[in-house]
């Protein structure tokens, strides 16, 4: 299991096994994450903006730093010109964490 799942298993270890414990809690988390995704709205992205985002996200480790600095990461992309990357950085800068995560989910990460 991954480290986050191991932590969840440890946290739910003392839960009543008849009530599901780990499995029940994991299901709740997945369901809530899905709700957040459904309720989170994104701005429209052009084809070049989507390509830039794909370059920045695909193959990356997605952690707090990546979510927080996503608007800065697009400035270092090799796709698009500097004006396109700056405009995208400004668009992303105003987004909340859930919106940034939804971008990552939609790009298949």
Name the pLDDT band for 18 (thresholds 50, 70, 90): low
What does the block give as tokens for 17? 């096994």
80 contact partners, CB below 8 Å, separation of at least 6: 48, 49, 51, 52, 88
Q: pLDDT tens digits for 21-54?
A: 888 889 999 999 999 999 999 999 999 999 999 9
Q: Quote the pLDDT of residue 21.
A: 85
- Residue 92: name the closest of 59, 55, 49 by CA: 49
Q: Quote the pLDDT of residue 15.
A: 59
């Amino acid at each position: 299991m991954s480290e986050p799942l191991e932590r969840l298993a440890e946290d739910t270890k003392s839960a009543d096994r008849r009530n599901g414990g780990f499995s029940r809690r994991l299901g709740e988390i997945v369901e809530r994450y899905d709700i957040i995704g459904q309720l989170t709205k994104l701005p429209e992205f052009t084809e070049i903006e989507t390509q830039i985002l794909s370059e920045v996200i695909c193959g990356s480790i997605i952690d707090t730093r990546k979510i927080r600095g996503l608007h800065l990461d697009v400035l270092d992309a090799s796709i698009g010109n500097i004006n396109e990357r700056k405009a995208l950085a400004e668009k992303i800068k105003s987004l909340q964490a859930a919106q940034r995560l939804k971008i990552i989910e939609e790009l298949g990460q």
